[in-house]
Each structure stands twice: as structure tokens, then as C-alpha cells.
Amino acid sequence: MIEHHAQHRQPLEQVQRLVASGQKRRVGQIHIAPEWGIASCSQHMTEPYIVATVRTIIAHKESAMTDQSQQFASDNYSGICPEAWAAMEQANKGHQRAYGDDQWTARASDDFRRLFETDCEVFFAFNGTAANSLALSSLCQSYHSVICSETAHVETDECGAPEFFSNGSKLLTARSAGGKLTPESIREVALKRQDIHYPKPRVVTLTQATEVGGVYQPEELKAISATCKELGLHLHMDGARFSNACAFLEASPAELTWKSGVDVLCFGGTKNGMAVGEAILFFNHDLAEDFDYRCKQAGQLASKMRFLSAPWVGLLENDAWLKHARHATPRHANHCAQLLAELVKDIPGVELMFPVQANGVFLQLSEPAIAALTARGWRFYTFIGNGARFMCSWDTEEERVRELAADIKLVMQG
């Protein structure tokens, strides 16, 4: 299952030798090269498939580096949206005070407070790993633990940063379906052991939308929050694709956060039209104490902070943050993901692995089809079990989605 891919990524020596011979250099695990269309390998992959994949990697390496057509490997492939770009251009005029004491940072912070309908504390970080790790560190002591899904980004893709910045807080994975935790799975982990020899559970972290494209409904969040309060746990939300969740649910940011019991939100902008910069919102003021010092110590206090905060002004003041995510118009992320799912659902041999609720489409394809798609120039992530992930972005065009769907149909027909 794709949900367990993080536990099964393996540095296949055969693949390494083949790639190294073709590249004339040493390479690491194959999953470190997503721009070539491969995110991970498995010992269960057949040798012909491995050889074909490596040949495709070698043949298409140069074109992958220069191809500027719209791709589906990651929503980080896309450029900067016009609203964020225009705000950065305006912020570039004249001089402003440094280290966050500028008018753009104040303006963005106030925009967040208006959007979320509450007086929250607002901070900015360069990327999601820093935002998540520092936010979690503010909720934990070194002897605490953080409960998360086994597919959570903090568990699988942040290189131990949450543990590093919290001075050792342990991540404990809980059962999940579609990347979503439940009160029962949280309780199971939190009450597993309560002796002095085991790290004390202190935080639950949720991803909204999840790593496999699911969303938490407001009632689900409230049920989890009630469990957290009962067990004395803080509730953190990784909102790298929070905009996409809001768009799908047609719910307000307030409904999906503090009104449902979330203490801290890391609001992602990079995957929704920004170049850099995530916002960290504390709805519980007490938890934000000295957080500015944590940011400084971790290298997240930008001297020219206005260039992190100004793009948020562009996104927030004309609702571009939501417009780019929703599925009401033909160029936006959720809409294009729904369109792709609709176009391929009846192709023989294609299986939709998870419901499409955000901007990601996860398909079960045959090994030859995956290799053929890559050979045709498409960039996407693959996982154990012939799973393929296709991510739509704020600027994805319908015509490009239709081209991809047509090629999927073609390669599945053999």
C-alpha cells in the first residue's frame, strides 16, 4: 500500500549500480530523484522493470532538467502566482525596517487575524519542515512524544528535524486510514504505556489535507480535539495544503482550526503559488511564548522578512489563496485533480487508490505503463505496489490534464 511506502524505501544495489554506470558517478537511493519520475523502489519490483526504469532515467535526465512544460510530480514544480509576485514587487520599492518590523509583515499578520476571525499569534518561516519542527518543539519537552500518522510528513520526509528541534521528542506513529488519525488510534498510542520509562505523549499532529489527498471534516477534528483535551494533549496541524482542504470542504479557516480545537497551524503557501514562506499561527497565545527566539535560533528570522510576508498579503487580500486551490474554475488545483480522476476512472487496469479530495490523484498502474509514461516525458512520483502520484498545481491547465489522461489510456492499452 502507498500509505506504507516510507517504511519500504530501499537502496537497491542493483539499481544503484545501473544508474551509477549510466551516470558515471555514485548515486544514493533511487527515491531521491523524483524529478526523473521515480520516488522509491521495492525489492518486489521485477528485474525487467528496474532495468527499463533505469534506462529511462538515464535517457531522460537531461530533458528532465530542461523541460519547462507543466508536470505532475509535485505542486512545488509550479512558479509564483501573479498575486504573490505583484506583492513582492511592491515590497521591493524603497527601504523597510528589518527582521519583521516592517509594514508588510504587520499587514500580513493582521490579514491572517481577519481571515481566521481571531487574535492569533503569527510567525513566518522559510519552509514547511522548519515551520512544523519549530511549532512542535514549542509544544514539547525533550521527554515528550508526538503522535502522528505513519504517512505524516513529519515522520517520513523531514529528516528528523522535529526530533532535533525539540531536543529529542519522539514521534509515535498511530494507525490511520487515508492518512487520517481517529480518536481511537490516538487513544491507543497515548495509553499504550504510561510509565516513567516511556516518552510521555504531549502532542497530536494532523495533516490537512493528508499526504494521500484526504481531508478531515470539521466534526472529525472536533472529535480528535475532545480526545486530546481528555488526554492532556496539544493539537498541531500541518497545513501544507490547507488551502486545498478549505476549498474542498467549503469551510472557513476558522471552522477547520481553532473552532475545532486546533492549537497551532502551519499554513502552507509554497504549494499554492508562493516562492517561499510558510505561516505559523498560534491560536493559544501561551504556547507562542518565546517562539520568536526559536525562529531566530533556527535561522528562520529573515533579515528582509518583508519578502516572506508580502506574498501572503497578495494571496490573502484578494482571496487568491482559495481561488488557486478550489475546483470552480478550469485552471486551479482541486478542479484539475477532479478532472484527471474523472478522465481515467474507466480506463481498464487503472485503479483510483484514494478518494480525490484535494489536489492529488493516486493511481494504481501497471509496471510497463509507469515506465512508458516516464519515457513519454511525464514526471510523477511512484511508490511500492505500482502506485503513481499526480499532483495538480495552482496553474495547472485543463488541456495538460487531458493530454496526461490520454497518454495514461494509451500506455495502459499496451
User: What are the residue ranges of helices labelled H in 353-397?
Assistant: 367-375
Residues 66 and 124 in one domain: no
Task: Report the SS3 class of residue 361.
Answer: strand
Last residue of a domain, one of 323, 354, 369: 323
Residues 287 and 365 in one domain: no
Residues 86 and 68 in one domain: no
Q: Which three cell numbers stand for residue 249?
A: 470542504
Report, as an integer, the average pLDDT of 224-245: 98
Residues 268 and 139 in one domain: yes
Report, as an integer, the average pLDDT of 218-238: 99
Of the candidates 190, 195, 161, 158, the one whose C-alpha atom is nearest the C-alpha of residue 173 is 190
Residues 315 and 332 in one domain: no
Report, as an integer, the average pLDDT of 225-235: 99
Q: Among 36-40, 176-180, 188-192, 280-284, where is mean pLDDT lowest? A: 36-40
**How would residue 48 be classed by pLDDT, with cut points 50, 70 and 90?**
low
Residues 319 and 332 in one domain: no
Residues 40 and 61 in one domain: yes
Q: What does 125-151 look like in DSSP terms, one character per residue? A: ESSHHHHHHHHHHTT--TTEEEEEETT
Check whether 50 has a pLDDT greater than 90. no
Report, as an integer, the average pLDDT of 185-195: 97
Domain at 180, CATH number: 3.40.640.10
Residues 295 and 406 in one domain: no
Check whether 28 has a pLDDT greater than 90. no
Residues 355 and 308 in one domain: no
Ramachandran angles phi, psi of 221, nearest 5°: -65, -40
Domain that holds residue 296: 82-323
Task: Report the SS3 class of residue 77.
Answer: coil
| pLDDT score of 195 | 96
The distance of Cα 30 from the centroid of its chain, to the nearest Å, equals 21
Last residue of a domain, one of 294, 323, 352: 323
Residues 168 and 93 in one domain: yes
Report, as an integer, the average pLDDT of 96-121: 98
Residues 252 and 384 in one domain: no
As a whole-number percent, the residues of the chain with pLDDT over 90 amount to 79
- How big is the chain, counted in residues? 414
Q: Cα(379)–Cα(38) distance, rounded to whole angstroms? A: 8
| pLDDT score of 12 | 42
Mean pLDDT of the chain: 88
Report, as an integer, the average pLDDT of 349-355: 96
**How would residue 383 be classed by pLDDT, with cut points 50, 70 and 90?**
confident
Ramachandran angles phi, psi of 196, nearest 5°: -65, -15
With a CB cutoff of 8 Å and minimum separation 6, the contacts of 350 are 344, 363, 364, 365, 408, 412
Q: Which three cell numbers stand for residue 216?
A: 478531515
Report, as an integer, the average pLDDT of 264-269: 98
**How would residue 219 be classed by pLDDT, with cut points 50, 70 and 90?**
very high
Check whether 63 has a pLDDT greater than 60. no
Handedness of CA 198, 220, 4, 71 (dihedral sign): negative
What Rg value do the Cα atoms of the chain yield, rounded? 21
Last residue of a domain, one of 296, 323, 350: 323
How many domains are there within the chain? 2
DSSP H/E element including 242: helix 242-249
Domain at 53, CATH number: 3.90.1150.10
Full strand arrangement of the beta sheet holding 170-174: 121-125, 278-282, 264-267, 234-239, 200-207, 144-149, 170-174
- Which one is predicted more confidently, 33 or 365? 365
| pLDDT score of 53 | 54
| pLDDT score of 299 | 97
Q: Among 2-6, 47-51, 202-206, 209-213, where is mean pLDDT lowest? A: 2-6
The distance of Cα 129 from the centroid of its chain, to the nearest Å, equals 10
Residues 103 and 121 in one domain: yes
Enter the pTM of the model. Answer: 0.85
**How would residue 268 be classed by pLDDT, with cut points 50, 70 and 90?**
very high
| pLDDT score of 67 | 60
Check whether 376 has a pLDDT greater than 60. yes
Note whether 394 and 333 are within 8 A (CB).
yes
Parallel, antiparallel, or unpaired: how do β-strands 381-383 and 387-391 relate? antiparallel
Check whether 385 has a pLDDT greater than 80. no
DSSP H/E element including 359: none
As a whole-number percent, the residues of the chain with pLDDT over 70 amount to 82
- Which one is predicted more confidently, 372 or 24? 372
